[in-house]
Amino acid sequence: MTEKILVEYREALRAAMDEEMTRDPNVFIMGEEVGLYNGAYKVTKGMLDKWGKDRVIDAPIAELGFAGLCIGAAMAGLRPIVEFMSFNFSFVAADQIISNAPKMYYMSGNRFHVPIVFRGPNGPAAQVSSQHSHSVESLYANFPGLIVIAPSNPYDGKGLLKSAIRNNNPVLFLENELSYGDKMEIPSEEYLVPIGKAKVVIEGKDLTIVSHGRQVLICMEAIKILNGLGIFPELVDLRTIKPLDITTVANSVRKTNNCLIVEEGHYFAGIASEVGFEVMEHCFDFLDSPVQRVCQRETPMPYSKPLEKETLPNEGRIVASVRKMLNR
Amino acid sequence: MFDRSSTIKKLGKELLLENLKRMLLIRNFEVRAEAAYLQGNVGGFFHSYIGQEAIQTAAIQALGPKQWYITSYRCHALALLLGATANELMAELYGRANGNALGRGGSMHFYTPRLMGGFGIVGGQIPIATGAAFALKYQKIPDQVAVCFMGDGAVAQGAFHESLNLAALWDLPCIYVIENNFWGMGTAVANAISVEKIAESKAVGYGIKGYTFNGMDFLECIHAFDLLYDEVLSTKKPVLAEFVTKRFKGHSVSDPGFYRSKDEVKEDMQRDPIIALRDVLIEEKMINLDEFKTLDKSLRQVAIDAMKHAEESPWPSVGTLEEDVFAP
């Protein structure tokens, strides 16, 4: 039997980076406060001491510059991990992330590939207002050539981050500030989680709930309430957003005949829009009710606690949506 | 100090003739490619390097092909100088399957193993070049540098500032070259950049050396790149250099150039860098006018043959459209 260890999410991510830096001397990490400060959220704690300043590099507050620099370094043969203190800061570097990284391999006639991981907390945290709370996945998933990953737990976080570092394409690896302290038992031995594979995390029969990232945990809480009402949803964790594993989603919907999508980001042109449309394409004849979604309402993120809670998906909104859908 | 006769002596007849030939190849390629554009065989944007040939030709002669090279969308010359053939480049302009970037890049996106592109967004290549220099330092490669070409217009971009700060902060081996042709599309440099002597003025703020050179004089450009290379290798610091030049054509093919007088362009053309080098070689009795004409004619034929090659080349199969979005 494989030995298990209890780790926090941040420790699982750190272990992934440590293992990959041991495996490949071309892997390094760069970002604001990743070194001396030990990481704004302590994901890189101790890594400067372990690896030295040539491989754990404190960057000035210049996301455009250091994100672009790392893309150039990747083109020249290195495998950078870029930490954004918040993915909201990636907007400053948008030209590099959008116009250079994902287009290079195709545009150069396969001459230059860009093996790089951009990682950091995405979406809302706790009352940080509009400019620190945006969920970026639907924006970036719109660009062919970018891989977008949003793991919900430490096990997937570690295995997917290792796969991301080994991948030869630009990967956006979306974490969540509120999840860094989440604890879970993971194997002490090395393992990988494949990119592009969703997972049924709770089996059920009455409907399929599809979600990703931290919202998977909210869905689990909602499902406990629903179970008490005699409703048994199946929960699919996308894990990777692009490439989207529609097969796993569709197989579940064909079984349950109903589908609800829960997304931390906004309604308009969100991941839920895409998943919902693909469910319609693949499962039209199997659906007993219109596909529903619970997303962030169409406002910039308010600061005040009750407003913040109401604009985000929450257990109450999910339960209400399911009951309406099933008429129960 | 720049000494014309010692530069002539150092290069010798063979290399001087070779460089004249390279400049004539660029000129003839650009003239024919523009003709192909006007015939409707080339689409998209098309930015000619005519008038600026001395700079990049001298760079390749002085620094050799083993550095990392990066430039803007005005990239035809650099690709030719780094060994891409007129045939493969013309085929790319024609959008053919055997083009330099498999028909995916077009005029603004040419590549060689050491040319990281042709970048379409003004200033977008500057962080990339900085990253190539970072990779050289990371991999402890002692005698190589990254060479980043940009227009005067790029100096106004944020990417310029962030890159220069990072390169100076981290002692990255990069030669930043501003080819000041006085016009950012139709906006005069004086209406876009707050200082004159751009490189000398800006370099001070990063604690690095800045230089100004005559970009119309091939021999001075040779001296310049020798000096810049020595400076980077001996100080381990980046350098910033302005090459004052003129483009004889519009910003792109579709630019009629109403913002400058015909007389002004005529006057600029009196300083044609190819004619200037030709006259030096005639004076040195290394070539006579007839031999020059014969050489020019032979390179015109190379360009005409490239058009024929491109026209006869196959279109990309639409079946390949969705290949290579991701690297394996």
Among candidate residues A11, A20, A83, A132, the one labeled active-site is: A132
Find, in chain B, the residue whose alpha carbon is nearest to that of A144. Answer: B325
Q: Inter-chain contact B159–A68, Cβ cutoff 8 Å?
A: yes
* Mean pLDDT value across residues A164-181: 98
In a mutagenesis test of the B interface, which of A26, A55, A61, A69 is the best target, namely the one with the most B β-carbons within 10 Å? A69
Instruction: Note the Cα B303 to chain centre separation in Å.
Output: 18
CA B226 to each of CA B148, B172, B231: distance values in angstroms, whole numbers, following the listed order: 15, 18, 9
B251 falls in which pLDDT band (50, 70, 90)? Answer: confident
The ipTM, to two decimals, is 0.97
The per-residue pLDDT for B1 is 82
Instruction: Please say if A132 is a catalytic residue.
Output: yes
- Report the CATH number that the domain containing residue A70 is assigned in CATH: 3.40.50.970
- Report the CATH number that the domain containing residue A307 is assigned in CATH: 3.40.50.920
* Mean pLDDT value across residues B162-188: 96
* Mean pLDDT value across residues A17-25: 98
Statement: residue B245 has pLDDT above 80: yes
Question: Would B114 be classed as within a structural domain?
Answer: yes
Say if residue A124 is in the same domain as residue A17: yes
Statement: residue B254 has pLDDT above 90: no
Q: Inter-chain contact B131–A67, Cβ cutoff 8 Å?
A: no
How close does chain A come to B299, measured CA to CA in Å? 27
Spatial contact of B176 and B241, defined as CB atoms under 8 Å apart: yes
Find, in chain B, the residue whose alpha carbon is nearest to that of A114. Answer: B327
* Mean pLDDT value across residues A70-94: 98
Q: How many CB pairs under 8 A join A and B?
A: 138
Statement: residue A161 has pLDDT above 90: yes
Q: What's the domain range around A27?
A: 4-187
Closest-CA residue to B167 (of B206, B205, B194) = B206
**How far is A309 from A84, CA to CA, in rounded Å?**
25
- Tell me the one-letter amino acid at A232: F
Contact residues, chain A, for B101 at CB < 8 Å: 107-109, 111
Residues 6+ apart with CB under 8 A from B177: B55, B59, B147, B148, B149, B150, B241, B243
CA-CA-CA-CA torsion sign (B98, B100, B103, B106):
negative
pTM over 0.90: yes
Residue by residue, DSSP assigns B52-91 as -HHHHHHHHHHH-TTSEEEE-S--HHHHHHTT--HHHHHH
Instruction: Please say if A266 is a catalytic residue.
Output: no
Say if residue A93 is in the same domain as residue A167: yes
Of A26, A99, A145, Cβ closest to residue B326: A145
The encoded tokens of residue A308 equal 């913040």
A1 falls in which pLDDT band (50, 70, 90)? Answer: low
Instruction: Note the Cα B118 to chain centre separation in Å.
Output: 10
Q: What's the domain range around B291?
A: 4-313
Residue whose pair of structure tokens reads 């499902």 in the numeric block: A223
How close does chain B come to A277, measured CA to CA in Å? 21
Q: Inter-chain contact A78–B163, Cβ cutoff 8 Å?
A: no
* Mean pLDDT value across residues A192-196: 98
How close does chain A come to B81, measured CA to CA in Å? 18
Contact residues, chain B, for A54 at CB < 8 Å: 138
A80 falls in which pLDDT band (50, 70, 90)? Answer: very high
* Mean pLDDT value across residues B52-71: 98
Find, in chain A, the residue whose alpha carbon is nearest to that of B102. Answer: A109
How close does chain A come to B67, measured CA to CA in Å? 11
* Mean pLDDT value across residues A106-133: 96
Contact residues, chain B, for A52 at CB < 8 Å: none
* Strands ordered across the beta sheet of B174-180: B115-118, B68-71, B146-151, B174-180, B239-244, B209-214
Spatial contact of A127 and A196, defined as CB atoms under 8 Å apart: no
Of B109, B124, B169, Cβ closest to residue A95: B124
The per-residue pLDDT for A327 is 94
Find, in chain A, the residue whose alpha carbon is nearest to that of B165. Answer: A65
Spatial contact of A198 and A235, defined as CB atoms under 8 Å apart: no
* Mean pLDDT value across residues B27-49: 97
Give me the percent of chain A exceeding a pLDDT of 90.
99
* Mean pLDDT value across residues B63-89: 98
Statement: residue A102 has pLDDT above 90: yes
Say if residue A114 is in the same domain as residue A25: yes
Number of domains in chain B: 1
* Mean pLDDT value across residues B50-78: 98
Question: Would A264 be classed as within a structural domain?
Answer: yes
The per-residue pLDDT for B256 is 87
Among candidate residues A11, A20, A32, A63, the one labeled active-site is: A63
Burial (Cβ within 10 Å: 0-12, 13-18, ≥19) of residue A303:
exposed
Question: Would B322 be classed as within a structural domain?
Answer: no
The encoded tokens of residue B281 equal 């070689």
Burial (Cβ within 10 Å: 0-12, 13-18, ≥19) of residue B76:
buried
Statement: residue B253 has pLDDT above 90: no
Chain A residues with at least one Cβ partner in B under 8 Å: 26, 28, 54, 59-60, 62, 64-78, 95-96, 99-100, 104-115, 144-145, 147, 168-169
Number of domains in chain A: 2
Question: Would B324 be classed as within a structural domain?
Answer: no
CA A72 to each of CA A98, A200, A234, B127, B162: distance values in angstroms, whole numbers, following the listed order: 14, 38, 43, 7, 14
| C-beta atoms surrounding A291 within 10 Å | 21
Of A68, A99, A105, Cβ closest to residue B131: A68
pLDDT 10s digits, A197-250: 999 999 999 999 999 999 999 999 999 999 999 999 999 999 999 999 999 999
Residue B149: strand pairing partners: B177
Question: Would A271 be classed as within a structural domain?
Answer: yes
Say if residue A123 is in the same domain as residue A43: yes
The per-residue pLDDT for A37 is 97
Q: What is the mean pLDDT of chain B?
A: 97
Question: Would B326 be classed as within a structural domain?
Answer: no
- Report the CATH number that the domain containing residue B77 is assigned in CATH: 3.40.50.970
B13 falls in which pLDDT band (50, 70, 90)? Answer: very high
Q: Inter-chain contact A73–B126, Cβ cutoff 8 Å?
A: no
Strands A199-202 and A233-237: antiparallel
Statement: residue A317 has pLDDT above 70: yes
Report the length, in residues, of chain A: 328
Question: Would A151 be classed as within a structural domain?
Answer: yes
